[in-house]
Structure 1
Amino acid sequence: MKLSFTTLGCPEWTLEQIATNARSNGYDGVELRTHADGNHLSPDASPDEARRVADLFRAHGVPVMSVMGYTKFAFLDPAEVQRNQELMRKLIAIAAAMGARYIRTFAGKLPDGTTHAQMIDVVADALRPLAREAATKGVTIGMETHDDWCASHVSLQLVEKIRSRKGFGIIYDVCNCLYAGIEPWRTTYRKLKPHILYCHVKDGWRDAAGTFQYAALGAGDQPWREVLQALKKDRFKGFLSFEWERKWHPELEPPERVFPQYVHKVRSLWG
């Protein structure tokens, strides 16, 4: 396994600070947030700018392993689908210029009153040409298990409909799937295993009101020891990317505290 973190956890850091801290804390790569707010890279970045950013991280020995995008495709309005396709094409160009292997996407929350059966072809038809385009540039689009797309059978249907082994796969967010309450994590993992590109790692618990409370790895109620041992047994070679959502929850511990702890804890649990 290899270790990375999403820059969602360090919104106040510059690119130089991110690269320096990733290297000093023993990370192998970085999942770079790419959003219209420019934190930490804009989807409108030129190929030259993307290459300069990639060179900065490579110089520190921590390449950008994934472009963390925010595209989604489960829309009834074809214009919204097209807008997100255009955005994904920008992300593909950025990832290719950077030499980043992956792009994160969402499928998108189901519109009110719709079902997976009604929307899965909309999502698959939107992503299929993008996956093929990405594959020609050495990039793979990864759909995060998120929102209404945490059940393994739904993710597998999408993989089968897109039909691009090199251009499309799954980013397995264990916590998202567990809290969806659809199936045991072992079931999800077993079914998605051939298609997992990398994993998002976070920990926490739900309080009495049902609100998710973030915690440092090992301090929540997620079965991370068992999950990591299963990955180790299967000789998982991908990234375990720490998703600390400080961008959305500024009250969380600062990255200079939790990023080193994550490395230590993962290595301890991995054994």
Structure 2
Amino acid sequence: MKLALSTLGLPGIPLAQVARLAARAGFHGVELRVHPEAHVHPGLDAGRRKAIAATFEASGIEILALAGYARVADPDDDSDLHQLIGLTRDLGAAHLRVFPGGAGSRGDDDTAVRRLTDASHLARDSNIRILLETHDSHRTGEAVARVLDRVGADADGVGALWDVMHTWLGGESPGESYRHLAPHLGYTQVKDIASAEDTTPLPLGAGVLPLAECLALLPPDGWVCWEYEKRWYPEAAPLPGLLRAGRRYLTSITPGGEG
């Protein structure tokens, strides 16, 4: 199993330091947050894009994904998926994360299917996959698979990102979530929390999420990404001091250990 680290847990830290932290703690890759306040965003020029890619390559750390904030089930969302695909390609990442972001209407699925289908050809030609995360309006595996099943023939350019907290909050068992998502799965995001009412990030294994049960279902050559949401919970413990223990915990519960 290959392990990645989300930069959502390292807000404001320079990317070169992120690469060093990931490498020293034994992680294999990173998920880079894409936002105007972050170090990665579509406004980067070609030189800066090459420099970022080179920084991680020199550290032996793969850029697994860019975590974008496009809301593909929201008809009013103005995110340019083609622009985000170009950024993902230029940084050498394999995946682009998007959210559903629907309003709970009957047309949410239709909007998401249309936008993902429209972008899937460029994604496929760029050798990346757009991954729809189990989140907000489509937080269960069933809901995300319902959209992706309709994309159909264009599925090579799209897939699913399994955020295990959201499927748990949505009432699915790990087995139910995996059954729906397995045909589409790009990679899996893990975290830990105290309860459904308190989602402040905790060290892995210190909370209530069924992480071992979820990860036992995954193929041994898959990717697992630790998303520690320090950006949204400034009172949470700093992530750098948790990295080595978190990596050891993930290794202990993942099929095949380290890949």
Alignment partner of 1:159 is 2:148: yes
Runs of 5+ unmatched residues, structure 2: none
Measured after TM superposition, the shift of residue 122 of structure 1 is 1.1
Paired residue for 1:202, among 191, 199, 218? 191
TM-score, normalisation: structure 2:
0.93
Aligned to 1:118: 107
Question: Where do 4+ consecutive residues of structure 1 move more than 4 Å?
Answer: none
Give, in whole Å, the separation in 1 of the partners of 2:221 and 2:44: 30
Mapping for residues 245-256 of structure 1, pairs under 5 Å: 245-256=229-240
| Contact 2:190-2:225 at 8 Å conserved across structures | yes
Equivalent residue of 1:205, what SS? coil
Cα deviations by residue, 1:155-183 (Å, 9 ceiling, x for unpaired): 122112223222100000111110122x2
| Contact 1:44-1:90 at 8 Å conserved across structures | no
Give, in whole Å, the separation in 2 of the partners of 1:48 and 1:137: 19
Aligned to 2:47: 48
Equivalent residue of 1:213, what SS? coil
| Structure 2 letter corresponding to 1:190 | R
| Structure 1 letter corresponding to 2:58 | A
Aligned to 1:65: 64
Give, in whole Å, the separation in 2 of the partners of 1:121 and 1:47: 35
| Contact 2:192-2:207 at 8 Å conserved across structures | yes
Give, in whole Å, the separation in 2 of the partners of 1:241 and 1:201: 6
Measured after TM superposition, the shift of residue 222 of structure 1 is 1.2
Measured after TM superposition, the shift of residue 211 of structure 1 is 3.0
Give, in whole Å, the separation in 2 of the partners of 1:127 and 1:242: 25
| Structure 2 letter corresponding to 1:188 | S
Equivalent residue of 2:156, what SS? coil
Equivalent residue of 1:169, what SS? strand
| Structure 2 letter corresponding to 1:242 | W
Give, in whole Å, the separation in 2 of the partners of 1:238 and 1:7: 20
| Contact 1:47-1:94 at 8 Å conserved across structures | no
Give, in whole Å, the separation in 2 of the partners of 1:105 and 1:259: 26
Give, in whole Å, the separation in 2 of the partners of 1:75 and 1:218: 35
Measured after TM superposition, the shift of residue 267 of structure 1 is 1.0
What value does the CA root-mean-square deviation take over the aligned residues?
1.5
Give, in whole Å, the separation in 2 of the partners of 1:35 and 1:61: 24
| Structure 1 letter corresponding to 2:116 | L
Runs of 5+ unmatched residues, structure 1: none
| Structure 2 letter corresponding to 1:247 | R
Aligned to 1:96: 89
The size of the alignment, in residue pairs, is: 254
| Contact 2:93-2:128 at 8 Å conserved across structures | yes
Aligned-residue identity in percent: 29
Equivalent residue of 2:107, what SS? helix
Aligned to 1:267: 251
Aligned to 2:180: 191
| Contact 2:141-2:162 at 8 Å conserved across structures | no
Paired residue for 2:164, among 152, 174, 183? 174
Measured after TM superposition, the shift of residue 223 of structure 1 is 1.4
Measured after TM superposition, the shift of residue 184 of structure 1 is 1.6
Equivalent residue of 2:4, what SS? strand
| Structure 1 letter corresponding to 2:141 | S
| Contact 1:124-1:162 at 8 Å conserved across structures | yes
| Structure 1 letter corresponding to 2:118 | P
| Structure 2 letter corresponding to 1:257 | G
Cα deviations by residue, 1:111-152 (Å, 9 ceiling, x for unpaired): 2xx43x322111111121111111101011001100121233
Give, in whole Å, the separation in 2 of the partners of 1:90 and 1:250: 31
| Contact 1:200-1:243 at 8 Å conserved across structures | yes
Alignment partner of 1:28 is 2:28: yes
| Structure 1 letter corresponding to 2:168 | L
Measured after TM superposition, the shift of residue 99 of structure 1 is 1.3
Equivalent residue of 2:119, what SS? helix
Equivalent residue of 2:194, what SS? strand
Give, in whole Å, the separation in 1 of the partners of 2:149 and 2:199: 32
Measured after TM superposition, the shift of residue 153 of structure 1 is 2.7
Give, in whole Å, the separation in 1 of the partners of 2:27 and 2:193: 22
Q: 1:229 to 1:75 in 2, by over 3 A?
A: closer
TM-score, normalisation: structure 1:
0.89
